[in-house]
């Protein structure tokens, strides 16, 4: 069942320029442009791209905290903007988020128990206190926190433990989708694996869909069913995780993969290696034509003239590049 369908989503911000007069029209920054994907219940979509590629803005548009300039976010078949107040409350309950900086995301003046219980008390204020505490304790236990620490404050915990608190808080309402925005980027490598494994276990137990955002492909690789690669607000490639890792077609995906050592020697021997050169251009002044062309090792003159279309090159495998061969030619 399709839980979430994002259709040609575009999100912009008005950005005043330093030195502009107050009456000067602000410039329009396209943080997310023409983005489409689907997510089924219980599945994980990995979203990868350098910092500034629009990943968090995409997450905020799905949660509903930034409006779309164009396109649609369909939650269980219904346009997010067209939801009734009651459906909107259900959506807010069903979609939760986990953030990159676990300590900063937690209110320092609240105890761990209050933090985890807060969404429950907001959506179900009549929940008896004892029931709330029991649910919090059970969830603390499940995410690997000692329930008798329920009255402690966030600063008394390590980064990994704070992220476990964030996970418990996100799960107390038994959501259908959890958006994890770089949930392990701020953690030590050893702790990263523990948190990812915990998320995978919880996903299986609760049939959760996940959008797992990272700037590093190696982080999303093992948790994702599908992976989408973003660059300067646009989708460059999306495919089943194995397909994208083993035969990436977009030069940007190839560069991201080249920067990650893959432990499988067969893949390691055969994969194309192309290191990424240069800096991410300003999203206020993106290159004409293909936004990736200023860093693309195979760019040609045509790449500067028109935006490349999103081409289907295999089952569920889309690539935004003029050199991508459509599915019929691939099969022939």
Closer CB to ligand SF4, residue 246 or residue 294? 294
- Interface residue with ligand ADP among 3, 6, 9, 29 (CB under 6 A) is 29
Burial class (CB in 10 A: 0-12, 13-18, 19+), 222: middle
For residue 328, the minimal CB distance to ligand SF4 (Å) is 19
Of Mg ion, ligand ADP, ligand SF4, none, which one does residue 8 interact with (CB within 5 to 8 Å by kind)? none
Of Mg ion, ligand ADP, ligand SF4, none, which one does residue 15 interact with (CB within 5 to 8 Å by kind)? ligand ADP
Closer CB to Mg ion, residue 132 or residue 233? 233
Closer CB to ligand ADP, residue 53 or residue 247? 53
- Tell me if 57 contacts Mg ion by CB under 5 A: no
For residue 237, the minimal CB distance to ligand SF4 (Å) is 10
Distance from C-alpha of 146 to C-alpha of 139, rounded to nearest angstrom: 10
* Ordered DSSP codes for 81-96: GG--HHHHHHHHHHEE
Closer CB to ligand SF4, residue 222 or residue 323? 323
- Tell me if 49 contacts ligand ADP by CB under 6 A: yes
DSSP alpha helix (H) spans, the chain:
55-63, 85-94, 112-123, 129-142, 159-171, 189-206, 217-221, 241-246, 251-258, 265-270, 327-331
- Tell me if 56 contacts Mg ion by CB under 5 A: yes
Is 217:48 a contact under the CB 8 Å cutoff? yes
Closer CB to ligand ADP, residue 59 or residue 165? 59
- Tell me if 43 contacts Mg ion by CB under 5 A: no
Stretch that binds ligand ADP, among 55-63, 113-121, 130-138, 146-154 (CB under 6 A): 55-63
Of ligand ADP, Mg ion, ligand SF4, none, which one does residue 322 interact with (CB within 5 to 8 Å by kind)? ligand SF4
Long-range contacts of 113-121 (CB under 8 A, 24+ apart): 113/150, 113/151, 115/154, 115/165, 115/169, 116/140, 116/165, 116/168, 116/169, 116/172, 117/172, 118/169, 119/93, 119/169, 119/172, 119/173, 120/172, 120/173
- Tell me if 13 contacts ligand ADP by CB under 6 A: yes
Distance from C-alpha of 106 to C-alpha of 37, rounded to nearest angstrom: 31
| CA-based torsion, 131, 165, 169, 155: positive or negative | positive
Residues that bind ligand ADP (CB under 6 A): 13, 15, 29, 31, 49, 51-57, 283
Residues that bind Mg ion (CB under 5 A): 55-56
Residues that bind ligand SF4 (CB under 6 A): 251, 290, 292-293, 296, 298-299, 303, 308, 321-323
């Amino acid at each position: 069942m399709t839980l979430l369908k994002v259709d040609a989503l575009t999100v912009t911000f008005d950005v005043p320029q330093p030195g502009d007069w107050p009456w000067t029209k602000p410039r329009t920054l396209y943080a997310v442009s023409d983005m489409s994907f689907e997510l089924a219940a219980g599945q994980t979509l990995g979203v990868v791209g350098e910092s500034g590629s629009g990943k968090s803005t995409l997450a905020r548009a799905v949660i509903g905290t930034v409006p779309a300039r164009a396109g649609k976010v369909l939650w269980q078949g219904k346009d997010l903007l067209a939801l009734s107040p009651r459906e909107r409350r259900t959506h807010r309950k069903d979609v939760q988020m986990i953030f990159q900086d676990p300590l900063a995301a937690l209110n320092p003046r609240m105890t761990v128990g209050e933090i985890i219980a807060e969404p429950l008390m907001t959506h179900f204020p009549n929940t008896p206190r004892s029931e709330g505490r029991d649910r919090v304790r059970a969830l603390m236990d499940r995410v690997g926190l000692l329930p008798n620490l329920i009255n402690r404050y966030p600063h008394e915990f390590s980064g990994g433990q704070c992220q476990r608190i964030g996970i418990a808080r996100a799960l107390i309402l038994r959501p259908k989708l959890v958006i994890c925005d770089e949930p392990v980027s701020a953690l030590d490598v050893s702790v990263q694996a523990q948190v990812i494994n915990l998320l995978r276990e919880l996903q299986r137990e609760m049939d959760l869909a996940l959008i797992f955002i990272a700037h590093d492909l190696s982080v999303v690789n093992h948790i994702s069913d599908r992976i989408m690669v973003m660059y300067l607000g646009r989708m460059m490639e999306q495919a089943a995780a194995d397909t994208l890792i083993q035969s990436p077609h977009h030069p940007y995906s190839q560069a991201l993969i080249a920067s990650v050592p893959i432990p499988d020697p067969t893949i390691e021997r055969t994969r194309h290696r192309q290191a990424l050169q240069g800096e991410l251009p300003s999203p206020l002044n993106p290159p004409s034509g293909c936004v990736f062309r200023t860093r693309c090792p195979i760019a040609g003159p045509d790449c500067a003239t028109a935006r490349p279309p999103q081409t289907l090159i295999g089952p569920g495998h889309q690539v935004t590049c003029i050199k991508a061969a459509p599915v019929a030619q691939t099969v022939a």
